[in-house]
Amino acid sequence: KRLGSSAISMSKYKLIMLRHGEGAWNKENRFCSWVDQKLNSEGMEEARNCGKQLKALNFEFDLVFTSVLNRSIHTAWLILEELGQEWVPVESSWRLNERHYGALIGLNREQMALNHGEEQVRLWRRSYNVTPPPIEESHPYYQEIYN
């Protein structure tokens, strides 16, 4: 038996989008990108507080999606723990990783603005048409990202 369009339109879903908690490089204003930085103590507290707020609003999750980066997975676990929903499946995909900043990875954003201009850094960070300089194999974080 096929469901009619009226059955589909009656379904309601909620999509909750959250950013991972703070890590050391966030605090230092550095481009993290795909480097697998862990949450710092403030980031863990941010995640727990988020879980408490969601619990106060009676949110229940069926499924959680994260990037493959530790900071995102750990944030999800801490939130689910606060909710008492540790059983909820967590699926990770590299497609949810944050933007790849290429050669800018690990560099300070303010210093990049001084070196290249604020407008150029803004384009690298926000444009879909302008990409940062590519990461080279000699980059200090290349091996960490690709191995």
**Residue 45 assigned as binding residue:** no
The reported pLDDT for the residue numbered 4 is 53
DSSP, residue by residue, 57-111: TT---S-EEE-SSHHHHHHHHHHHHHHT-TTS-EEE-GGGSPPP-GGGTT-BHHH
118 assigned to active site:
no
**Residue 71 assigned as binding residue:** yes
> Which residue, among 37, 34, 11, has the nearest Cα to 24 in the 3D structure?
37
116 assigned to active site:
no
**Residue 26 assigned as binding residue:** yes
Task: Convert the pLDDT of each residue in 72-101 to its tens digit.
Answer: 999 999 999 999 999 999 999 999 999 999
Whole-prediction pTM: 0.83
Enumerate domains of the chain plus CATH numbers: 22-146 (3.40.50.1240)
> Which residue, among 99, 106, 97, has the nearest Cα to 130 in the 3D structure?
99
Exactly one of 20, 46, 74, 82 is catalytic; which is it?
20
The reported pLDDT for the residue numbered 14 is 87
Sequence-separated (6 or more) residues with CB below 8 Å from residue 135: 100, 102, 103, 105, 141, 142, 145
Q: Which residues of the chain have pLDDT under 70?
A: 1-10
**Residue 139 assigned as binding residue:** no
The reported pLDDT for the residue numbered 80 is 98
Residue 43 identity (one-letter amino acid)? G
The reported pLDDT for the residue numbered 1 is 46
Exactly one of 42, 45, 98, 116 is catalytic; which is it?
98
**Residue 101 assigned as binding residue:** yes
N- to C-terminal Cα separation, the chain:
48
